Every structure is written in structure tokens, then in C-alpha cells.
Amino acid sequence: MVRFESAELARQDDRRPEQREWWAETGRYFEGPITVRDSFQVDLLLGGGSDDAGFVQVIQGIARDVERVRTLNSQAEAWLKEHRPEVIGGTVAWHGDGGFTETVYFTTEDAAREGESKALPADARVQLEEWLSLVEGIRIDRPTRSLAVGPRRGPAVGSVAGPEHAAGLLLMGHPSTSGSLWRRTGTAGRQDS
């Protein structure tokens, strides 16, 4: 996930020769098409992404009632803080057609799995059930291993990153390796991985 201050800065980054070279190389590692989605409406959960995340989960779907889903996401922050301390941030990028890509940042994969196995409080369960009733086509990417990179982490095993870059991007597609591929991009973007 890469965030830019403006659409123009994103386009400038895309025109960089290093960016084109990176795409040419990375495309070889995917079995199917790579999807890049531009989003001009992004909601932050618990302050947004975190460079300290040891595991990131990606959820995609289509909301039948975008405003209600946004409200439920906002309301979820209170019970997440209290009952899911391993969740340290998140983003929801809205695609303009009800579609969204949500990233949830966890301290570690083990902590995420442990938290998922716990029973939700009654009020949180009601909110989640309503959320699920309003969203269709849910796709959850649960990598078999975490490949997060960031300024404090450096490239991870399996990463196609080089040390000369500054921010992170999660690619959605069908990688030919297990898990999601991460890369770093130029300095025009703000880190959100």
C-alpha cells in the first residue's frame, strides 16, 4: 500500500525509470494479472498503517452501503483497542464503486492468529454481523509468511526490494510464490506498510 499526497505525485512516481524497471522485473513473479487500484477516499483505522507491523492482512470486498460500513469501521476502533491489542493500525481504500481494499496491521502473525481465535464481545459480534451483511465478495489475503518491508525492517526474505527505495506497496495478484510480494518505491510516497 503506497500513499501519496496527491494524484500528481503518484503519476510522477509512476513515470520514474526505476519504477518501470521494477514493474518489468516484478511482473515475472506473478502467474496472473497485477491489479493496481487508485483510491481518492481512504479511511484510517487506529491511526493508519504502522512500520512496526510484523504481519499485514488484506481484505477486499464490495459494500452495498458504503456510509454504513464506514460508520461500523469507525465504531470498531473502541473494541479493537480494548480486545485486540495486536491490531496496531489499518486503512480502507475506497474505489468509488463500493469496492474497497482494507489493510489490517498486526504486531505479529502469531498474535493475529491468537486474537482471531478469541470470542468477540457481544457488541462487537453484533457490529461484525451487520458489517458482514453489508459486504459481498469478501476476499481475505492471509499470507503464509509475512514479507513486510519498511524503513526499520529492510527487505524481508522473498522481497524484491532494494535498499535505495523508501516506501512500501502491497501488490495484489496471483504471485507464483507463497504469500504476498512487497516492494519499496521512491520517496514521493509515504510509508504505509
Q: Are 181 and 160 in contact (CB under 8 A)?
A: yes
Residue 125 has pLDDT above 50, yes or no: yes
**What is the pLDDT confidence band of residue 140, given thresholds at 50, 70 and 90?**
confident
pLDDT in tens, 22-46: 888 888 888 888 878 888 889 999 9
Q: Can you tell me the distance from the alpha carbon of 103 to that of 47, in angstroms, rounded to the nearest whole number?
A: 12
> What pTM does this model have?
0.70
Cell (9 digits) for 166 = 523508501
Q: Using CA atoms, how far apart are residues 181 and 170, in angstroms rounded to an integer? A: 7
Residues above pLDDT 90, as percent of the chain:
47
Does residue 185 have a pLDDT over 90?
A: no
Instruction: Using alpha carbons only, give the angle 93, 55, 68 rounded to the nearest 5 degrees.
Output: 30
Strands (E) located in 17-156: 41-45, 55-63, 87-94, 99-106, 135-141
Instruction: Decide: 76 and 124 in contact? Cβ < 8 Å.
Output: yes
Look at the block and give the residue holding cell 499470507.
Answer: 143
Rounded to whole angstroms, how far apart are CA atoms 20 and 23?
Answer: 5
> Is 85 in a helix, a strand, or coil?
coil
What is the span of the domain harbouring residue 114? 2-191
State the total domains in the chain: 1
CATH code, 25: 3.30.70.100
pLDDT of 11: 87
Which pLDDT value is given to residue 142? 65
